[in-house]
Structure 1
Amino acid sequence: MTIWALIPLITCLAYIVLFVLALQFVEKRVNRVFTFYLAAAAVWSFTSFMLHLNAFPQQALLWNELLVVALIGTMITYYHFVRVYTNRPAGIGLYLGYGLLLILAVLSLSGFIVQYAYVTDGVLYHSLGISIYFIGGVSLAFIGIVIFLLVKKYRSSFDPIDRNRTMYLIGGWSILVLLSYTNLIPAVAGFPLDHIGSLINAFIISYAISRYHLLDIKLVARRGLTYVTLVGALIGIYIGAIFLGIRFFPEQSPVTIVSGATVIALLLALMTRPLRHAIQEGIDRLFFRGTYDYRQTLLSFGSKMGNILNLDELAKEMLPTMTKALNITRASLLLQDIGSGDFTTQFTYPKDKSKLSDNLSFSADNPVISWLEKETSPLNLKQIDSIPEFKGLWQIEREKLTSSDLDFLCPIKSRGRLIGILALGSK
């Protein structure tokens, strides 16, 4: 195996790992489409690996035909992902892209795209004829739209984390595209430089996942450890049962011992659901340690709320539990005064008169209230300077917020109307 076959193989394995991680979050549409892209990228790398490996020289033409389809498929699925990531509907461009991909697949596998292909010492020699200009033009159009959408999202976002995440996606995709277009340069067209770009993109996506929460990496680790522990335990029991059978029942045939061990393993597999819950609880306790019990209490708090009619009792139950579960310094509940319309602090845990957050209040016309009335997501107080709506905030109000030891203001709404604010302290 040459280095030119090894590069796409490593890239394929990298995308398979990312694909397995992303599979755990397919509940969200953006994650489902993201896994679709990762699968397409893995297939593209695999076809390149098989082509450059040249294990079956007579199949070089077939693998090159599949490679062309997989390459364009990767571009289209990434375009699909970016449309969802930037909160845009599918649009005619997406249907056109998948339609062109289907036509390309038919033409390529019918022998109308790749004229010839062979591999010598890991280097590909092939010709796509005039179709390379059509493929290059279509690819360039979708690549341009992807960059445009990502740049537009970057410029319109005021969330530093979201901007950094988008910038990494732009950087990774740009590197992949630049190295992919080396296929148009005759001197280096036979080398898989595009997969070096793809590998770099995989590393950048991995960093974005771990650093900027493109996926919830902590949840991935928890679920992954659960399944690894469960499967490892079943395999260990299965192998252990075989060794014990051989040791204590030497007169039995190997087939009988293996069959018995298999029956034991299958019976245990039927009990995996309660066993998985037990392992998951142990791993969650390991991850969350002192806050685990408070988190469980917080998760079950919704069922108790209907039985608590007194607001004071509700706040006394909710704020301490939330503070301990999230491991934050404090939590306050601000409610609207019926007469003035102002929002004032009514409940705080823990109480400390020296803290400004215990006396925090907002007038009805405050820019903070206007922002919370329009938004459904929490306001990160560390990002106030980067949000245009708060340019008119008085300096004294700005200083009051920055020195309040609070990180987030969460809007509480009833039928679309702001009725309260949950203020959460720092970790």
Structure 2
Amino acid sequence: MTQIGSLSYAIPPAVAAASGIIIIAIVMKWAPASPSRRLFVVMVTGLVLWGMTILGMRVTSDLNAAVVWDQLAAVAIMVMFLGFYHFSVLYTNTPGQRKALAVGYALVAVYGISTPFGGLVEGLRVEDYGYAPIPGVMAAPAMVTAVALLLAGVRTLVRRYKMTSSIEERNRLLYLVAGACLPLVGTVLDIVTNLPPVGIWTNILFCGISAVALLEYHLLDIPQVARRTLTYLVLGVMVALPYVLTLLVLQRLFGARLESFWGYLVTVL
């Protein structure tokens, strides 16, 4: 029995998107205006769009509509990795990256143009856990590009880590590196394996790690009032993760019986 349309299947991307939206709202309101702030927002926006498009895919039983949603999700992934690389360059004030950035933007534009033609996602197959993507002809080079963008960003942050003597800045950089690696791991596993989707879970963890960097180590100079709000966000994610895992286990054990009104009521309570 497939999980398509079930509550437990829809909640993870909704949590990821909501977490990203809260982080964006806090950064836009309280972080001082700067190029690095703008690119941080672009990066998290890619994550939010990924969550929203995956949610759209998971709540529809129309296979053709689900394919369109997943194709848009693939573009959102590329935007997120490109945003991370560009953010790392601006945040560390690394010179000599214009050509690399231009190539990155050009490649992401090409992948985006190929999307309606099935370049990144050709279709979907239905598994027990829900939809699984069928990679298109551009999926392999897009994955290589995503890895290259991530590694370039990580390399930039690591270089800055070696140069700075500030303990607080070093901790910020470590959190950024660790957080950035998670979505890539999830994306690769979702594409090259037949495992149940893990990309959304890694995105949620990325939001949590970003929140910790903003909260504890003053990333983007967020003031105290905003850091208090982020504290509630981190706590909310910590509560949501075991709740959603419980839903998934119950859905796996009881299947359709959990889809009734009373089943959901008992689960919520």
TM-score category, normalised to shorter length: 0.7 to 0.9
Counterpart of 1:216 (choices 198, 214, 222) is: 222
Structure 1 segment 339-378 matched on structure 2, within 5 A: none
d(CA) in 2 for partners of 1:28 and 1:71? 24
Q: Is the 8 A contact 2:14 2:52 kept in 1?
A: yes
Counterpart of 1:59 (choices 60, 65, 82) is: 65
- The residue that corresponds to 2:38 in the other structure is 32
1:205 aligns with 2:196: no
Quickly say closer, same or farther: Cα 1:179–1:170, change in 2 above 3 A. Answer: same
Query: Which structure has the larger Rg over C-alpha atoms?
Result: 1
Moved over 4 A (4+): 118-122, 221-224
The offset of 1:105, in angstroms, is 1.1
Quickly say closer, same or farther: Cα 1:185–1:113, change in 2 above 3 A. Answer: closer
| Corresponding letter in the other structure for 2:28 | L
The offset of 1:136, in angstroms, is 1.5
The offset of 1:106, in angstroms, is 1.0
Output the TM-score relative to the length of structure 2: 0.75
Output the TM-score relative to the length of structure 1: 0.49
Structure 1 segment 122-271 matched on structure 2, within 5 A: 123-188=130-195, 191-214=196-219, 215-218=221-224, 220=226
SS in 1 for 2:131: strand
- The residue that corresponds to 2:15 in the other structure is 10
| Corresponding letter in the other structure for 1:50 | G
The offset of 1:11, in angstroms, is 0.5
Q: Is the 8 A contact 1:2 1:121 kept in 2?
A: no
- The residue that corresponds to 1:87 in the other structure is 93
d(CA) in 2 for partners of 1:120 and 1:50? 17
Structure 1 segment 370-389 matched on structure 2, within 5 A: none
| Corresponding letter in the other structure for 1:5 | A
Identity of aligned residues (%): 20
The offset of 1:5, in angstroms, is 2.4
| Corresponding letter in the other structure for 1:160 | I
- Is the helix fraction higher in 1 or 2? 2
Q: Is the 8 A contact 1:52 1:122 kept in 2?
A: no
Question: For residues 95-127 of structure 1, what are the alpha-carbon distances to aligned partners after superposition, in whole Å with 9 as ceiling and x for unaligned?
Answer: 211111111111111333322225556521331
Q: Which runs of 5+ in 1 are unaligned?
A: 225-427
- Is the strand fraction higher in 1 or 2? 1
Q: Which runs of 5+ in 2 are unaligned?
A: 1-5, 231-269
Total equivalences in the alignment: 222
d(CA) in 2 for partners of 1:23 and 1:5? 28
Quickly say closer, same or farther: Cα 1:86–1:104, change in 2 above 3 A. Answer: same
| Corresponding letter in the other structure for 2:205 | I
The offset of 1:39, in angstroms, is 1.4
d(CA) in 1 for partners of 2:171 and 2:74? 32
Question: For residues 185-224 of structure 1, what are the alpha-carbon distances to aligned partners after superposition, in whole Å with 9 as ceiling and x for unaligned?
Answer: 3321xx3311111111110111111100114231536999
**CA RMSD, Structure 1 to Structure 2 (Å):** 2.3
SS in 2 for 1:158: coil
The offset of 1:57, in angstroms, is 3.6
- The residue that corresponds to 2:248 in the other structure is none
d(CA) in 2 for partners of 1:147 and 1:94? 14
